[in-house]
Every structure is written in structure tokens, then in C-alpha cells.
Structure 1
Amino acid sequence: MLTLVTGATGLVGNNVVRALISRGAAVRALVRSTADSRPFQGLDLEIVQGDVCDSDAVRRACHGVTRVVHSAGRVHLGFSGWAEARAVNVDGTRNVAAAAREVGARMVHVSSVDALGLGSRKNPGDEERAATGNVPCPYVLTKRDSERVLFDEVKQGLDAVIVNPVFVLGPWDWKPSSGRMLLEVARGRALLAPRGGNDFCDARNVAQTILTALERGKTGRRYILGGESLSYFEAWTLFAEITGARPPLARVGPIALWVAGAAGSAWGKVTGREPDVNLASIRMSLLEHHFRCDRARQELGYEPGTAREAATAAWQWFCERGYADQSLVA
């Protein structure tokens, strides 16, 4: 069976590619012409150039495949970039889902818990909670819309499931993406933690469960791939221990964070490039993002692992490739 993977240079997508190859599966990756080639070095797979926003390129990439893992996405936690977020997250998902349906391929759409309703540690969210409480930024809203697109295609005959990972850490984070948080702590830039929290899971476990979802996930069903629930203060303290960095000093109040976020958003309007610290990301950092993953455990055998395991693996990988000694790119 030939499996197409989109977003194959990303953290989740690259772990999926490697998990497939380790099982002896034939893999085809759809990548843009400008994509980094390092994630594929030494791997036995077929690479085809194209963009998920190009419906013809997606149809060509789907020719002859029996399974599709759609992990491509535009991730920016800010209020800018609406057009790009919609083009990639919504229209791109529509293109991939339609092409998969046309060739009769089974599909796993990699969404995010940010598309769902928020939960707390005392009352964690699940797959059925109404999608409320989160920040209405392009990423959140377009991930929700991407799921609506997917479910519409299922009604037309697409055999597909959705997985919603929490905050993912692990090796093969080439960009880096979510591993930036770990690197910020390692470089002593995270001394004041916001008051929110998140669930942290291992990219390798997410990838293995995506393959299980391809095999036995129930069509039209959503699965939260959860993790260990930590406040950001707890998570950053753990990251500091793992990396040998200085731990956060305290939890910072919302007023100081709002000021920093407003300054970041204002700077983004001046430069045309919104920084990571902006009003949307600050608002999200003050919220609790906690979820239960009973359904994935019971139906897919999902085991999220611990935040320590995931962060340790990520840090080891970053150190081996020199990321620990580099400055982060904004």
C-alpha cells in the first residue's frame, strides 16, 4: 500500500514518514519546491513537488495511493495571515480530502485541539465539547473550518478520521515548531511564565497512533491525542531541568503580558511581520488547554507518554544537530 503524507517536513509529518518507513510501507511525500530537503536525507521514499493549495498537484500526488495522512498546515498564533491560513488550512484540506475521495483512499486529517472547546484540569475537554472559549485567531478558526470541510467530504463518501494532538514535542522538529518553547527556556529567555497551561505529548507516539487510526479508526470520528497536563510554569521548570537552564522565576500577571502582546502586535503592523509575542498568542497563553483522551486510548491504544520523555527526546535531538547553539529565527 502506498501512503501519501502532506506536511512531511513538519514535526508530526516527519515522524509519520519515519514510522511508516520503519514498518516497511511505501511512502510518497508531497512537498513544496522550496521545502527543506534535510528531513528526507537517508530515507527511502518518493518525493513529489506540489502545494496542497494546488488542486491539480494534489490530484496527481494522490494517484495510485491507498492511504493519505494530511498533516500540512499553516501555524501562526497571531491575528495576521488570514488569507494564507484559509488557503492552506481550509482550501488545502478540501483539495486533499476531495482527491482522496476520488481515488478511494483512506485518510487521516491531522487537526489540533485548538479547533475544539477548551477544558481545564478539573474539567478537561473532550471530542464532543462545543468549540468555544479559545482565541478567535486565524489558526484556531481555520482549523475548525478544516474539520467542517473534512466532515462534509465524509458525507460524500470519504473514508476519513480526524486526530487532534495537544502540544507536541519530540525529535525531527526541523523548523523548529513547537520545540521553540523548549529552546527559549534553554536559552534563558523564559523567566516569567504565563498563568495558563497545556497538555504535552510525544511526537513519536502521535505518529504511531496516526498509523493505527489509518488501520482501525472509525470513519467520521475525531480522536484527541492528549498528554500530560502542566501549567506553563511547571512545564518551563521541567524544561529548565532537562536543558540545564535557569528555571522560571514566577508566574507573571496578565497586565504585563497584555502590554508585551500589544507591543508585539503594533510592531507587526509596522514591519508587516507579526512576531510570536502578540495579542493572540498572549491571550492563548493565559488560558488552560487541557483535554482527556479516553477515546483514543480505548479505540486506538494511544499512550501519550510523559512530558519529560517528550522534552528529553526533543532536547537530545536539538543538541545533536546544533540547534542548542543557534539563535532562534523569528
Structure 2
Amino acid sequence: MFQKLEFMISERVLVTGANGLLGTNTVIELLNQNYLVRGLVRDTNKYKGPNHSNLELFQGDILNISDLKKATLNCQYVINCAAITDQSEFDYRMYHSVNVQGVKNILSVAVRNNVKKIIQVGTANEFGYGGLNDLGDETKKMKPPYKKSLYARSKKNAYHFLKSKTDDIDIVFINPTFMIGSYDSKPSSGRIILMGLKKKLVFCPPGGKSFVCVKDVARGVVSALKCGDNKASYLMAHENLSFLEFLKIMRNQTKGRFRIILIPKWVLICLGCFGSLLRFFRIKTNLSMENMKSLSINSFYSNRKSCEQLYINYTPIKEGIKDCVKWFEVQT
């Protein structure tokens, strides 16, 4: 699992949200590169990654200043992977409390404890997407329907806050697209893989996304510790695929026999209307007009900047699917 290196790195890195999909993979990549790692989690029993002599799990919360003071002590870097990503929340204050206020807490404590650099993990949807002939990049402004997404809005607000503080401390922004891979313990994006493993019918929306292996994103996060420029944002993206193309790759990798059923856009819009009605009555649901519209567009991005400045060689998404399948099979 962990590679031997001929030199020792004595720098300590705090990883918040260390039990999440990207958080766990980032912890593993840091350990592979012989960093000392402190993983901040709300419940140490929920950490599913491997144990290691250079890993210290710290139970705490980014909303608790006292926890953060202790967690950042003697750390040279902070990688913030902690976030509320659940698309079923209907109250923006839920996202703001963690994705914005938590970030403000991290910034305050990091400056006080003389941390060298913060790596803030956001989302690609903070930037404008494009089509295959005009990919989204770090220069393009956020577009609908993500402008109305409570999650994306909270990440964008955190970005603007931190961007205003880059004279106080070096801050680098990592913006992943749709990540696939192992250690998806919630699960989050891995739910689409579970559908392929467990369902005979998988419904396919008309849009598409940029898919990326989570291991590649973790490599980008760790590379940003040394190579990332202050104030810079880096989109971590790879294969721009329609959902139909992705599901066909997934079916091959899972050896699944599921049938793919195409859903027309008008059906998704109807579901979005129904979801908005449920949310009006304060019922939590993943159905919303914004979420359904996002499934109907091609949300494609370029990885050029991360390739050139973070030196990332991206892996075919089929490898991320394989890793995810193997991990779920072990868990069950």
C-alpha cells in the first residue's frame, strides 16, 4: 500500500474530513509520500482507511475553534476536505454553517498557528462549464443551474472569503469534478456504482459530466502543497462523457447485466417541480429543479492547468470504477 522513499519528510499535514472519499484518498497519498498526517474526523470509528505509524486520527469538528487549535498545532499545512455535500438539504444555512463558517474557523486558527499553506477543496461547478468544443476552465464564471445550487453557492462563498485572505496565508484551491474511486464510505458518488452492482435497470439522464479518478485528485491535492501557486484554482477533471457513455463503461467494468433506460429531459423537469413542492413543505429530498437541470446539461471541464502546473497524469475512469467496485465488494 505504502511506497518506501529514500528521504524523509518531517512536515505534518492536517486533513479535515479525513473519513470522506477524497479525504481518505488524500491521507493515503500523503502517507505514500512520507508526510506526517493528522486526520480530523468527527468520529474516529468511521475512518475506513488503513492504519499507519505516521497517521494520527484526531476526533473533532471544524465548527469547534478549540478542536481546530489542537488539531493544527505543529502542522505546516491544512487540507480542507470537510464539507456538507448532501443535495437533499433545503436550507442554505445548513451548507453555510460548515462550508463557509467552518472555512472561516480554519483560516483563523491556521494563521494563528503559523500554518504555511491551506489547500481548500471546492467544486468544479464554482466555474463555468462548457461543451466538448469549448470546455469550462478556471477563467469562466459560474453558470446556471449551479448558481442556484445551495451546495455550489456555499463553496463559491467560501472561495470568495478565502481569496480575500491570501495576503495573510498562502491558499490554493482544488476544484474536482465527479470523483470515482475506493473508500467511498457514505457512499457519495459511489451510489451510481452501487446501482450498477445491485440493480437490473439503471435510469440514464440526457446530460453528461466530467469524470475523474479520486486517486488523481488526491495526487493533485498533495502536489499543490509544493507546486500550487497562492490564490490559484486548479480544476481536477478528466473524461468528459455523457451519462450514457459513462454507464456503458461502468457496465463493462462491473460485468453487470443491467439495462440502461434513457430518461427524457421533460421527465426530469417534472420530477424537479415535484421536488420543489416537497421542499416548499420542508421535506428533505434530492429532487429539485436545480439538481434535475444539472442532469440535463453537459457539464464539461478542462484539466489543462492542473496537468501543466501540478504535473498530474490522469488515469482512465475505468480504473476508478474498478477501484470502487473492489472496495464495495470487500465492504459487503
Map Cα deviations across residues 92-114 of structure 1 (whole Å, 9 max, x no partner): 11111222222232111111101
Alignment match, 2:309: 299
TM-score, scaled to structure 2: 0.90
> Are residues 286 and 79 of structure 1, via their aligned partners in 2, closer, same or farther at CA, if it must alter by over 3 Å?
farther
Which deviates more, 240-249 or 69-78? 240-249
TM-score, scaled to structure 1: 0.90
- The separation in 2 between residues aligned to 1:46 and 1:318, in whole angstroms, is 25
> Are residues 185 and 276 of structure 1, via their aligned partners in 2, closer, same or farther at CA, if it must alter by over 3 Å?
farther
The yes-or-no answer on 1:180 pairing with 2:201 is no
Alignment match, 2:7: none
- The separation in 1 between residues aligned to 2:89 and 2:57, in whole angstroms, is 33
The answer to whether the 8 A contact 2:145-2:290 is kept is no
- The separation in 1 between residues aligned to 2:69 and 2:94, in whole angstroms, is 21
The yes-or-no answer on 1:207 pairing with 2:218 is yes
Counterpart selection for 2:239 from 228, 253, 258: 228
Counterpart selection for 2:65 from 55, 71, 93: 55
Alignment match, 1:96: 106
Gaps of 5+ in 2: 1-10
- The separation in 1 between residues aligned to 2:124 and 2:265, in whole angstroms, is 23
Alignment match, 2:291: 281
Alignment match, 2:156: 144
Map Cα deviations across residues 104-151 of structure 1 (whole Å, 9 max, x no partner): 321111111011112122211100111223331210100101111111
The yes-or-no answer on 1:192 pairing with 2:176 is no
Alignment match, 1:27: 37
Alignment match, 1:290: 300
Aligned partner letter, 1:205:
D
The answer to whether the 8 A contact 1:198-1:289 is kept is yes
The answer to whether the 8 A contact 1:186-1:239 is kept is no
Map Cα deviations across residues 237-296 of structure 1 (whole Å, 9 max, x no partner): 2212222324554432111112233334444566x5523343332121112211111111
Aligned partner letter, 1:67:
Y
Aligned partner letter, 2:220:
T
Alignment match, 1:326: none
- Partner of 1:133, secondary structure, is coil
**CA positional deviation for 1:180:** 0.8
Alignment match, 2:143: 132
- The separation in 1 between residues aligned to 2:60 and 2:261, in whole angstroms, is 46
Aligned partner letter, 1:187:
K
The answer to whether the 8 A contact 2:201-2:259 is kept is yes
- The separation in 1 between residues aligned to 2:79 and 2:153, in whole angstroms, is 21
Which deviates more, 257-266 or 20-29? 257-266
Gaps of 5+ in 1: 323-330
Map Cα deviations across residues 279-319 of structure 1 (whole Å, 9 max, x no partner): 33212111221111111101111122111111111111111
Alignment match, 2:320: 310
The yes-or-no answer on 1:74 pairing with 2:81 is no
The answer to whether the 8 A contact 2:178-2:189 is kept is yes
- The separation in 2 between residues aligned to 1:190 and 1:55, in whole angstroms, is 47
Task: Using the aligned pairs only, state the percent identity.
Answer: 24
- Partner of 1:3, secondary structure, is strand
Aligned partner letter, 1:168:
M
**CA positional deviation for 1:78:** 4.5
Counterpart selection for 1:119 from 110, 126, 130: 130
- The separation in 1 between residues aligned to 2:17 and 2:190, in whole angstroms, is 17
Map Cα deviations across residues 185-233 of structure 1 (whole Å, 9 max, x no partner): 3222653311111111111111112111001111110111111011011
- Partner of 1:153, secondary structure, is coil
The answer to whether the 8 A contact 1:28-1:47 is kept is yes
